[in-house]
Amino acid sequence: MQEEGPPQILKRIGPLWAFAKPAGLLIHNSAWAGGPRERTMLDLATEAVGGKVWPVHRLDRGTSGVWLCVDALDALEPWRAALAAGSKDYLALVRGRTLAPQSLLHPLRDTRGIEREARTSVAALAVGPEERVSVAWARIYSGRFHQVRRHLARAHHPVLFDTEHGDGRFSREIRLRFGGPPLALHAWQVSMQAPEGGEPVVVRTPPPWADWAAQLVGAAGWDAAWQALDASDPVTWPTEVARRSLAGAAALP
């Protein structure tokens, strides 16, 4: 793997650090990941912070976006609880144009085979005028293994380039013609209340594959998607997302 430079620091609040995780990096080495040991986000964050850090949550290797860690062990559980009570929003490029706003309530088995409740809200932000793809928003209310990827696949709108839950043939066709990231999934925003009565915390970072996505849905479609995300309060904007999604679908030939 290519040597990684220092990761971008998005925000620091006391012991909490928010980084922009690049696609292709593990959060940490583990038996589950397999293969030889490699440099990870924990390694890079440790170097950037200048001391040991602990992950508040995890992201898949192929997923880019907001990743949180703390530099004090006694801060780990309070910040994990804060994030669990908050929200995590993702952006994805998915197969299909008919992703209606919906809440997906399907239990998912974890890595030990235990079935756990899982909830994800999804909506299309923009649809491709020529290619059969959509920009999808997803908000997860639980943190299950591959939750966004598995729920979108269950909704028949798999994430592009997802080798485990996706449509391999369709993804290969798109990559051959347009290229693309390792996985078209990005952790766009986290929102939560800081522990012990602290201020609201919102951290976001745009997807590194924005220009690539604009090729598939058009520059106007991508701009409309981004405006929908930024148009109103994060708690209420899914209604606006749904309105734009339905209007965009109705405009298709």
Q: Specify the amino acid at residue 203.
A: V
**8-state DSSP, 74:** G
Question: Is residue 2 in some structural domain?
Answer: no
Is residue 16 included in any domain, yes or no?
A: yes
Tens of pLDDT along 159-175? 999 999 989 999 999 99
Distance CA 231, CA 210 (A): 18
Mean pLDDT of the chain: 84
In a domain, 3, yes or no: no
Q: What is the pLDDT of residue 251?
A: 45
Instruction: Point out which residues pair with 92 in neighbouring strands.
Output: 136, 185
Residues 6+ apart with CB under 8 A from 130: none
101 in any annotated domain: yes
Give the chain's domain count: 1
Q: Which is it for the CA torsion 233, 13, 45, 42, positive or negative?
A: negative
Query: Residue 30 has what pLDDT?
Result: 64
Q: Where are the beta strands (DSSP E) in 39-109?
A: 54-55, 64-70, 87-95, 102-105, 108-109
Q: How far apart, in whole angstroms, are the C-alpha atoms of residue 121 and residue 119?
A: 7
pLDDT in tens, 192-241: 999 988 889 999 999 999 999 999 998 888 887 877 776 554 334 444 55
pLDDT in tens, 91-143: 999 999 888 778 887 767 766 776 777 788 888 888 898 899 999 989 887 76
Instruction: State the residue range of the domain holding 242.
Output: 8-250
pLDDT at residue 2, as a whole number? 44
113-122 per-residue burial string, b: 16 or more CB within 10 A, e: under 16: eeeeebbbbb
Give me the pLDDT at residue 107, please.
65
Q: Is position 82 within any domain?
A: yes
- Residue 111 covered by a domain: yes
Q: In the numeric block, which tokens belong to residue 164?
A: 């485990």
What is the rounded CA–CA span in Å between residue 62 and residue 149?
A: 11
Note whether residue 23 is domain-resident.
yes
Give the integer Cα–Cα distance in Å for 239 and 167: 29
Inter-residue contact 191 to 234 (CB < 8 Å) = yes
| pTM exceeds 0.75 | yes
Put residue 151 in one of left, alpha, beta given phi > 0 → left and psi -120 to 50 → alpha: alpha
CATH number reported for the structural domain that contains residue 55 in this entry: 3.30.2350.10
- Enumerate the H helices of the chain as residue ranges: 41-49, 76-85, 147-154, 168-178, 210-217, 219-230, 237-250
